[in-house]
Amino acid sequence: MKLKEILDKTTAFFKDKKIDTPRLDAELLLAHGLKLERIQLYLRFDQPMKDEELAVLRELVRRRASGEPVAYIMGYRDFFNHRFEVNNQVLIPRPETEHIVEDVLAWASDKEASLGLIDLGCGSGCIGLSLLKEYPNAKLIAVDLLPGAIEVAQRNAQSLDVADRVQFLNLDAGNVEAIMSAYKDFTGQSSIDVLVSNPPYIASDDPQVEENVKKFEPNSALYAEDSGLALLKGWSKAFAPYLKTPGLMLMEMGMSQGPAMKQAYESLKIFNEISVIKDLSGHDRVIRGETHG
């Protein structure tokens, strides 16, 4: 059987399984299994497949057909021009989360700034570590409750060559005293330049959550009490008093949570500017609070 036949059959099979992007997923998995770039598939359409190659591809296709995300099968996801290892201990980085990194870059345009950063619920480390790549003099405290997530993020810090500028804490993000103590020791600063977070923000009874997200991604990184608002409100209230002037706090949220989070930020009476950043689909995605003189 030739490569083109395999690709076409896999695409048709994924369509039957109601997979959203059947052709893309088929291309990604076949390229991964054959250790090729996606473009190389099209240059080798007439290449016959060996039995051992077919065995590898069948297993990848089986896993995808069961609903397992492509990123977990391949073991990585690209985010903000960098490749991040992922597994089922961390959420898969989404393109909309890049808005947080982009807003920090717009706010702190001096790339030589010695910024002190905190990333709460860091998961794979995609937000905080992307910022360390952009700011060579910055230092980061990255916090996550899951030991497996910390291990993934540590490996990502090594592969991105920023491990000397990040300290990982396997803690509940509500442990403000321990986090701020570590931050002061590591950065030499007592107040935070930038706090970023993609916290759990989904209500436990939200009917819009995809079945395979619930099945494969870590539930502790998805759900929060108070209709999904508990950690967004709790973490922002706990850390806002430590924000520097000028300082910036950015937290990803659900598309219906903008009004509630804007009100919550206003109630802290710390921010000079509060706004909601929309994603490319026009949905509320990030709550932003800025302090300045």
Looking at residue 107, its pLDDT comes to 97
Distance in angstroms (rounded) separating the CA atoms of residues 238 and 175:
9
* Listed residue (142, 153, 121) closest to 187, CA to CA: 142
* Listed residue (167, 189, 168, 61) closest to 114, CA to CA: 189
pTM (two decimals):
0.94
104-109 CB contacts, 8 Å cutoff, 24+ apart? 104/131, 104/134, 104/194, 104/196, 104/248, 104/250, 105/134, 107/194, 107/248, 107/290, 108/135, 108/193, 108/194, 108/248
DSSP 128: H
- Ramachandran angles phi, psi of 81, nearest 5°: 70, 10
Return the half-sphere exposure (C-beta side, CA atoms, 13 A cut-off) of residue 175: 14
Looking at residue 85, its pLDDT comes to 98
Task: Reply yes or no on whether the pLDDT at 282 is more than 90.
Answer: yes
Looking at residue 213, its pLDDT comes to 85
Distance in angstroms (rounded) separating the CA atoms of residues 262 and 257:
8
What tokens appear for 158 in the block?
Answer: 């090594």
pLDDT digits (tens, 9 = 90+) for 65-115: 999 999 999 999 999 999 999 999 999 999 999 999 999 999 999 888 899
pLDDT digits (tens, 9 = 90+) for 197-207: 999 999 888 87
Mean pLDDT across the chain: 96
Looking at residue 207, its pLDDT comes to 79
Residues in Cβ contact with 34 at an 8 Å cutoff, skipping those fewer than 6 apart? 3, 41, 53, 56, 57
Looking at residue 8, its pLDDT comes to 96
pLDDT digits (tens, 9 = 90+) for 238-279: 999 999 999 999 999 999 999 999 999 999 999 999 999 999
Q: Is 204 annotated as a binding residue?
A: no
Q: Is 81 annotated as a binding residue?
A: no
Q: Is 207 annotated as a binding residue?
A: no
Residues in Cβ contact with 150 at an 8 Å cutoff, skipping those fewer than 6 apart? 122, 142, 144, 168, 169, 170
Q: Was domain 81-291 assigned CATH 3.40.50.150?
A: yes
Q: Give me the residue spans of the domains in the chain.
A: 3-66, 81-291
Distance in angstroms (rounded) separating the CA atoms of residues 8 and 23:
8
pLDDT band, residue 287 (cuts 50/70/90):
very high
Q: Is 147 annotated as a binding residue?
A: no
Q: Is 109 annotated as a binding residue?
A: no
Q: Is 121 annotated as a binding residue?
A: yes
Looking at residue 120, its pLDDT comes to 98
* Listed residue (10, 7, 70) closest to 42, CA to CA: 7
What tokens appear for 229 in the block?
Answer: 């608002």
Distance in angstroms (rounded) separating the CA atoms of residues 290 and 250:
9
Looking at residue 208, its pLDDT comes to 82
To the nearest whole percent, how much of the chain has pLDDT over 70? 100
- 277 vs 223 pLDDT, higher one: 277
Q: Residue 115, exposed/middle/buried by CB under 10 A (0-12, 13-18, 19+)?
A: buried
pLDDT digits (tens, 9 = 90+) for 161-183: 999 999 999 999 999 999 999 99
